[in-house]
Structures are given as structure tokens and as C-alpha cells.
Amino acid sequence: MKKIITLISIITLAFGSFAQIANVEGSKDALNKSLSANFIEFVMPKDVTAENINKSAQFYTDYFTVEYNADNKVARVNLLNSDGTGRRVITRFLLSTGVRGVNFDGQDYSIMEFYTNFLE
């Protein structure tokens, strides 16, 4: 039984270490200001490539465009409308690029937690 618990713990830690986290820099006020200007910037994980970003972004052109700077890994999502639909679709874009969480203001959130707390 002890071996099973140890094995489960190791597997959980292994999968947790591969979770890719994007960062949103700045404060809550800065995030609200950028959202009111219809954009949000994510610092993408190092494993995410420009090809991956562009391939994923092409499916969401009805909601937003994505400008990606490969040098500093910043993906700027420019929302086409100020309604909540585009913000909700950002969650699908992040998932399609391999991102599983967002770090904001020093705390890690799942993508849905980030959406619920800051984008909704």
C-alpha cells in the first residue's frame, strides 16, 4: 500500500511539473485598463512556439487577433468586440497552445479560474 501511495504521488508531481503556465504581468488595475482597451497580453511558456500560436489563433479570428513576439514570448490578444464572448474564447486559445494555467499577481490559476476571476 505504501508503494502505491508513493507511486501515485510521483505520477501526480510529474504531471504537475509539465503543466505550462502563461503569465499576465501587472496589477488588477492594469489588467482592467488593457481589457477596457480590448486587449490582453500573455507571456507564454518557453515551450510554446510562434508556429503553435499562429496555428491556434487562425481558428478564433471571429473573436480576436493575436500578435506574437517570439523574442520576449508575449502574445497580445486583440479583442474585436468588447462583449464577453471573445474573452471566453481566449480560454480555448490558451488550451489549444498547451497552456494549462495562468500566473497573475503572484498566484497560479487554472484557465477557468482566471477567466472567472478576471475576464468575466
First and final C-alpha spacing in the chain? 44
Domain boundaries, the chain: 20-119
Please report, for the chain, how many H helices and E strands are present, in that order: 5, 6
* Structure confidence at residue 41 (pLDDT): 96
C-alpha grid cell for residue 5?
501511495
Structural contact between residues 37 and 13, judged by C-beta atoms closer than 8 angstroms: no
Burial class (CB in 10 A: 0-12, 13-18, 19+), 45: middle
pTM for the predicted model, two decimal places: 0.80
Instruction: Show pLDDT as tens, one digit a residue, over the chain (120 residues).
Output: 666 665 555 554 444 445 699 999 999 999 999 999 999 999 999 999 999 999 999 999 999 999 999 999 999 999 998 788 999 999 999 999 999 999 999 999 999 999 999 998
Q: Do residues 56 and 48 lie in contact, with contact meaning Cβ atoms separated by under 8 Å?
A: no
